[in-house]
Structure 1
Amino acid sequence: MLSLGIYIIGSLLVIVIIHYLRYPKNNGKLPPGSMGWPLLGETIQFFAPNTSFDIPPFVKERMQRYGPIFRTSLVGRPVIVSTDPDFNYFIFQQEGKLFQSWYPYTFTEIFGRQNVGSLHGFMYKYLKNMVLNLFGPESLKNMLPEVEKIVNNNLKRWSRQTSVEMKEASAKMIFDITGKKLIDFDYENSMRKCVENFVAFIKGLISFPLYFPGTAYYKCLQGRKKILKMLKRMLEERKSQPRKEQSDFFDYVLEELRSKDTILTEAIALDFMFVLLFASFETTSLAITLAIKFLHEHPKALKELTEEHEAIIRRRENASYGLTWQEYKSMKFTFQFINETVRLANIAPVIFRKALKDINFKEYTIPAGWAVMVSPPAVHLNPAKYEDPLQFNPWRWEGIEINGASRNFMAFGGGMRFCVGTDFTKVQMAVFLHCFVTKYKWETIKGGDIVRTPGLQFPNGYHIKISQKEY
């Protein structure tokens, strides 16, 4: 009993010491809030699931109690949470000066210590330019026919099935599109297992970080290891059979690795590839699935979207011609529809940064080393900016052109880290919607309910029956 008592007291003392070291004294005025339990903080409350499009209860309750800027503790780190548009804008504009990209240790373990979110300065710009070479406007113009071909092939195959689970099916379709551009793979063979591992990875991505066999977090990290192993093997195969002309991301990587002046390493390249494949597999497929759900629930939006795309076909000399870049750029209501979908989707529920020095904002001080968590849902669902913010209303975007992030719209990030794949995502969504509404009709079979933990999920899937239109 004495030994047990000493052990308990010693453990408590260690917890208190660690807690003290993690939360150093601050000379200024901290934002109001609660740090929760030592080490654990308010992590459990943060990961609590909810079934609404509304601001997550964790954030909403604390906004009402403390105001738009408050403090908390998540997975052992002190965090300042911002729902203030002005502070968010300040954070993004001061990246590299007062703030830098940062993610909790658990996220770093999941996405890799060399991932783009952990890279700063010249290396980040270097990788960003590599992506823009693949997915910039000129490349997207050339990719349009291939994207349309893949979408049509998938829709035709789905129409022969009795039921299609749209999240899984659209993820594989988007993975096919992006995978060809990144690693030019043979989907039926080399990447089928990669898709299976990504499914395991994603199920544990937004989960409580318990690393024990059987937990979602454990399965997530195991899925990551298997995917990286496959990517490394594919890179080795490409090394042994190099190509004369660059056609995918691996070609760019190999050329850089052969350069004497390169700053790129194989570890950074593989982690970066992993992040790009994840983004293609998960985020765009979630947006497409949610878009179909909104079309089903809002017939008026479906009618206007269909009319816009049927008009595009009628204006062609030959109706069988494929989409042109000019036609894509003319899709005004489609872009309104996409903006409204991603506003409500809030697929990236949080954006993290870290204070590089003590920072004064309004009456508060953000201590150096503290994490800052921007909450996009609190911005996108702000009734002061968006009338009836929980209502799906694509017409609210009429006459508004979105070319980047703003104080009130950050679905694709913000500042210098505004997502470089934004245009590619919009192309994929727009092409899919064009093919879908002009050639097919559908009915919901089951599912479609959402859960946020805090990321968006369809726990029961979204199953629909697709059939070709008859003219």
Structure 2
Amino acid sequence: MWPGAGPWQASVGSVAVALLVAAVIARFFIPRLWSPSGIKPRGAASSAAAAGARLPAGSLGWPLLGETLAFIFAAYSQRPESFAEERRLLYGSVFKSHLWGAPAVVSSDPEVSRAVLQADASAFVPWYPRSLMELMGDSSILVLGGGLQRRVHGLAGAFFKSPHLKARVTADMQRRVGRAMDAWRRNNGGSGGGATVVRVQDEAKSIVFEILVRALIGLDEGHEMQYLRQQFKEFIAGLISLPVKLPGTQLYRSLKAKKRMTKLIQKIIQEKRRQKRITDECDNLRETDHPRDMIDVLLGNGSDELTNELISDNMIDFMIPAEDSVPVLITLAVKYLSECPLALQQLEEENMELKRQKSGTGETLEWTDYMSLTFTQHVITETLRMGNIINGIMRKAVRDVEVRGHLIPKGWRVLVYFRAVHLDAAVHDDPHAFNPWRWEERTDVMSSSGFTPFGGGQRLCPGLDLARLEASIFLHHLVTSFRWVAEEDAVVNFPTVRLSRGMPIAVTPRT
């Protein structure tokens, strides 16, 4: 998926119509954005050009539409990376194109992509589709820049990485996964001992959403949690939709859903501010106390810039991985393991050994136990590489930028296409094979420029450790409690990565 993207309920045909309409509007009502070269006229004193950088080779495609339709048709296929692969053979791993109504440079080169990700706001700023920008708002961490972005990102990263939160998430996840799997067992018993069919994707979404919302805003299970989830589903459906806000459109419904979520979250924030004033006046807060949730972390910073609106908007942003990223990671891991018996066997052996060790001593599994499962982490890493839950990110050049000899003109977009790198045979041997063992010799996976499933630079996903932890817990309890037979299912790669049938598996309890 694209960072922050949600389901898009349009067909290819409607997408094409929307793009054509948008292109016509841009062409005739904003003519200064369009020139034959796709570059705004500028003086000869371009520092990047003067330094010898050159615009990459490539094609701007059809008038108005550019190459967007070709990108979409490839994205709906089983090989979305074919769009980049075909052009890489013609022009190289960095090439120019025209996507989503603007000239763009596409990178499937690990070093160029890394340089773009590491660049600061003086060179590139985030760029997202208009519907997503409408829903996220100006205070979203996805678009914030400068010191405020660094502050929010740093606070979130420190909180999500804290041992205290990991311990809480582990306990919550174990309890919630255990309750779900108890229900599977009861259904199994009620069916006369036969297998129970569960849809991994649906189960994972339900579990992860509740865990993450509790960590973000301190909301426990109950009516408000269910209400929030209903509104969130409506909200996320509009993240990539036609940018029309008329009543009855998806974007209109999504904006209404966000208002309802914001009202609930701001009520929580206001109550927390009131409690904080009382606590501060009484001077009862001990240094050993830990923030209960992410709202507490932001309120505790004491910055006037962290307004109720900014906090509520970003709490909604941080919920997005609970709907897309983490549940899909879990679901894809189950799919790939089902198709690779040797990997599943080794995963089972590793997790059963941990379970025996802890059962023998009477100890409860801690978050460090799950993260120490070496082969399980290799499985998660390989799932991230093959699954490409985040296909790539887009940036906009705020000035002429030179990146490793390539000129990216001011105003152009840059598509850092993770999928094309992760599935490039020049970077990863036999890239379309699920091979967790390939990571055994790579001691520092996240430092590799050829592996960027969580983005990079100042906007590296702050919740990457939690994503791995939650997936590890789910897989541990699944393989140590059940055997399963997977039904046929297909991966859909656009506009978000998901399993078309939700990954149904027939589970039977281990005896």
TM over 0.5: yes
Once the two structures are TM-superposed, the CA of residue 189 in structure 1 deviates from its matched residue by 0.9
Question: 1:307-331 CA distances to partner (integer Å, 9 max, x unpaired)?
Answer: 0011112223636532134423421
Structure 2 residue runs without a partner (length 5+): 1-23, 188-195, 280-288
Which residue does the alignment assign to 2:7?
none
Which residue does the alignment assign to 1:5?
none
Which residue does the alignment assign to 2:490?
449
Tell me if 1:148 matches 2:174.
Answer: yes
Structure 1 residues 50 and 13: CA distance shift in structure 2, 3 A: closer
TM-score (norm 2): 0.81
Pairing partner for 2:154 from 129, 134, 141: 129
The DSSP-based 3-state class of the residue aligned with 1:399 is coil
Paired with 1:126 and 1:25, the residues of 2 have a C-alpha distance of 37
Pairing partner for 2:320 from 262, 271, 278: 278
Matches within 5 A, 1:280-429: 280-316=322-358, 318=360, 321-402=363-444, 404-429=446-471
Q: What residue identity is the alignment partner of 1:384?
A: A
Matches within 5 A, 1:174-189: 174-189=208-223
Number of residue-to-residue matches in the alignment: 458
Pairing partner for 1:116 from 133, 141, 150: 141
Asked if the contact 1:70/1:81 (under 8 Å) is kept, the reply is yes
Which residue does the alignment assign to 1:227?
261
Asked if the contact 2:371/2:469 (under 8 Å) is kept, the reply is no
Which residue does the alignment assign to 2:509?
468
Pairing partner for 1:56 from 81, 103, 120: 81
Pairing partner for 1:41 from 41, 60, 66: 66
Structure 1 residues 463 and 202: CA distance shift in structure 2, 3 A: farther
Once the two structures are TM-superposed, the CA of residue 432 in structure 1 deviates from its matched residue by 1.1
Once the two structures are TM-superposed, the CA of residue 441 in structure 1 deviates from its matched residue by 1.9
Q: What residue identity is the alignment partner of 2:369?
A: E
Structure 1 residues 211 and 458: CA distance shift in structure 2, 3 A: farther
Once the two structures are TM-superposed, the CA of residue 268 in structure 1 deviates from its matched residue by 1.6
Question: 1:405-461 CA distances to partner (integer Å, 9 max, x unpaired)?
Answer: 42100001112222111111111111111111111222334x521112243122332
More off after superposition, 30-39 vs 174-183: 30-39
Paired with 1:99 and 1:17, the residues of 2 have a C-alpha distance of 21
Structure 1 residues 137 and 266: CA distance shift in structure 2, 3 A: closer
Structure 1 residues 50 and 215: CA distance shift in structure 2, 3 A: farther
Structure 1 residues 332 and 56: CA distance shift in structure 2, 3 A: same
More off after superposition, 238-247 vs 337-346: 238-247
Asked if the contact 1:54/1:377 (under 8 Å) is kept, the reply is no
Q: What residue identity is the alignment partner of 1:464?
A: I
Paired with 2:56 and 2:211, the residues of 1 have a C-alpha distance of 45
The DSSP-based 3-state class of the residue aligned with 2:450 is coil
Asked if the contact 2:74/2:83 (under 8 Å) is kept, the reply is no
Question: 1:324-343 CA distances to partner (integer Å, 9 max, x unpaired)?
Answer: 34423421101100000010
Structure 1 residues 13 and 206: CA distance shift in structure 2, 3 A: closer
Which residue does the alignment assign to 1:167?
201
Question: 1:240-299 CA distances to partner (integer Å, 9 max, x unpaired)?
Answer: 66685631122234444xx4x532122221121111111223200000011111121111
Asked if the contact 2:490/2:500 (under 8 Å) is kept, the reply is yes
Paired with 2:235 and 2:338, the residues of 1 have a C-alpha distance of 30
Asked if the contact 1:48/1:454 (under 8 Å) is kept, the reply is no
Paired with 1:12 and 1:429, the residues of 2 have a C-alpha distance of 46
Once the two structures are TM-superposed, the CA of residue 177 in structure 1 deviates from its matched residue by 1.2
Q: What residue identity is the alignment partner of 2:120?
A: E
Pairing partner for 1:195 from 229, 247, 254: 229
Once the two structures are TM-superposed, the CA of residue 382 in structure 1 deviates from its matched residue by 0.9
Pairing partner for 1:78 from 90, 103, 128: 103
Once the two structures are TM-superposed, the CA of residue 404 in structure 1 deviates from its matched residue by 2.7
Structure 1 residues 403 and 361: CA distance shift in structure 2, 3 A: closer
Structure 1 residues 229 and 38: CA distance shift in structure 2, 3 A: farther
Paired with 2:434 and 2:241, the residues of 1 have a C-alpha distance of 28
Question: 1:52-92 CA distances to partner (integer Å, 9 max, x unpaired)?
Answer: 56443333333233321122233322221111112112212
Paired with 1:46 and 1:208, the residues of 2 have a C-alpha distance of 18
Once the two structures are TM-superposed, the CA of residue 222 in structure 1 deviates from its matched residue by 4.6
Once the two structures are TM-superposed, the CA of residue 211 in structure 1 deviates from its matched residue by 5.3
Once the two structures are TM-superposed, the CA of residue 363 in structure 1 deviates from its matched residue by 4.9
Once the two structures are TM-superposed, the CA of residue 347 in structure 1 deviates from its matched residue by 0.8
Structure 1 residues 422 and 17: CA distance shift in structure 2, 3 A: closer
Which residue does the alignment assign to 1:267?
309
Structure 1 residues 432 and 155: CA distance shift in structure 2, 3 A: same
Which residue does the alignment assign to 2:17?
none
Asked if the contact 2:394/2:416 (under 8 Å) is kept, the reply is yes
Tell me if 1:67 matches 2:92.
Answer: yes
More off after superposition, 304-313 vs 98-107: 98-107
Once the two structures are TM-superposed, the CA of residue 50 in structure 1 deviates from its matched residue by 4.5
RMSD (Å), alpha carbons: 2.9
Structure 1 residues 133 and 458: CA distance shift in structure 2, 3 A: same
More off after superposition, 303-312 vs 25-34: 25-34
Asked if the contact 2:382/2:435 (under 8 Å) is kept, the reply is yes
Asked if the contact 1:209/1:217 (under 8 Å) is kept, the reply is yes
Pairing partner for 2:39 from 18, 23, 26: 23
TM-score (norm 1): 0.87
Asked if the contact 1:351/1:375 (under 8 Å) is kept, the reply is yes
Paired with 1:361 and 1:401, the residues of 2 have a C-alpha distance of 28
Matches within 5 A, 1:99-110: 99-110=124-135
Structure 1 residues 249 and 378: CA distance shift in structure 2, 3 A: same
Once the two structures are TM-superposed, the CA of residue 49 in structure 1 deviates from its matched residue by 6.2
Pairing partner for 1:248 from 293, 305, 318: 293
